[in-house]
Structure 1
């Protein structure tokens, strides 16, 4: 069932940035395949909610299969799912390491490989990876080695994929947030977290959504790591 209406896949879509991205793409009349481990069914016929661990290739295969069978195409993939564990490097457990790699790296690899294969058939598409400014600009007092290892790898993969697919109509970009006011940060931490940014505040979910939508509409931009981080990447 082919349709000219565009289709986006959004991972980590049950709350926070992911849920806001689902709404933003629907507001642009995209149909959406939304995934997270705990996502609930959608009442919107143009949003297909698929629960499951994105680190599992079978889940990634189902997302793309549903996009094609329900809506006929895949135009955009937003790799928003991610795990951040702030611990001193020597305190990470083998389970921490496996969990972060499964979601941040395996989750990226499987769904991106499958989505790009479909985009290549169409001759068009866009991938956006949500990474972190910490991958390039570490902050004293914010231990983040596993985030740097995994999300830093996604930044590099973003540029590599952008070049590999530039002549095939597929763009690949990333948004690197600072600390964003999402449910993962309890309100009592907001004051301290605001102080990590030169602008003196935490980012809002809408700031990240705006960055993704900019990249969505910026047809001449590929291989970009867009820092939406209140000046963190400029210095401290």
Structure 2
């Protein structure tokens, strides 16, 4: 159980890559952390509660938030980090692709955010950060991504809507809009080509994203912001 004044962060897609980096960063900030993904391993740290589950599946969001509140008593921050990216020509997308991408990127975001906001309202405030992509703002013919743009673009718009809806009730909502980041989903042999997609000539590091999210966490006058962490991709080529 956390102390009465200890803040609590819920992080989805938390088993590896950016999500795992965020778990470590919030833990170092003194937060208790509820970390969830389909394959996350149990934690022996009393300040980190891991909850296995597919965020797209009915009931997972309820289980995650209920477990966090039972263990730590509150929810102060929600990081919607879980995401699915399928790059295909538009006419090649299948029904399974559509279900997988919309399930995680939209349905998964929607229910856990509803439940987190209900808890935040009862507490008097909180913070939500959504992870999206700069392909929403700057499409690239070398990276066909209609399903990603459809879902993450919706998430980006929802970020601003939530920020305004709850601006007077102590809940801030922001987003980080990413370029391509070095994570386990990108094999080393692809890094050179992926680096070339960015005007700065390199891929993002996990630390670049973590630093941006922690900035937003510590910026009480910032809400409705889409913070681009993309090596200049959204600005042009």
Q: Does 1:46 align with 2:44?
A: no
Q: Which residue of 2 aligns with 1:133?
A: 134
Task: State how far apart, in whole Å, the 2-side matches of 1:198 and 1:66 are.
Answer: 43
Give the secondary-structure state (helix, strand or coil) at the position aligned to 2:222: coil
Q: After the TM superposition, which parts of structure 1 deviate over 3 Å for at least 4 consecutive aligned residues?
A: none
Further displaced range: 5-14 or 134-143: 134-143
Task: State how far apart, in whole Å, the 2-side matches of 1:230 and 1:143 are.
Answer: 19
Give the secondary-structure state (helix, strand or coil) at the position aligned to 1:20: helix
Further displaced range: 51-60 or 222-231: 51-60
Deviation of residue 36 (structure 1)?
Answer: 0.3
Give the secondary-structure state (helix, strand or coil) at the position aligned to 1:128: strand
Q: Is the CA contact (8 Å cut-off) linking 1:81 and 1:104 kept in structure 2?
A: yes
Q: Which residue of 1 aligns with 2:73?
A: 72
The 5-angstrom pairing of residues 217-232 of structure 1 reads: 217-232=218-233
Structure 2: state its 5+ residue gaps.
none
Deviation of residue 56 (structure 1)?
Answer: 2.1
Deviation of residue 115 (structure 1)?
Answer: 0.2
Q: Does 1:62 align with 2:68?
A: no
Give the secondary-structure state (helix, strand or coil) at the position aligned to 1:131: strand
Q: Which residue of 1 aligns with 2:157?
A: 156
Q: Does 1:216 align with 2:183?
A: no
Provide TM-score, normalisation by structure 1: 0.99
Q: Which residue of 1 aligns with 2:84?
A: 83
Aligned residues: 236
Provide TM-score, normalisation by structure 2: 0.98
Q: Which residue of 1 aligns with 2:14?
A: 13
Cα RMSD for the two superposed structures: 0.8
Deviation of residue 156 (structure 1)?
Answer: 0.1
Structure 1: state its 5+ residue gaps.
none
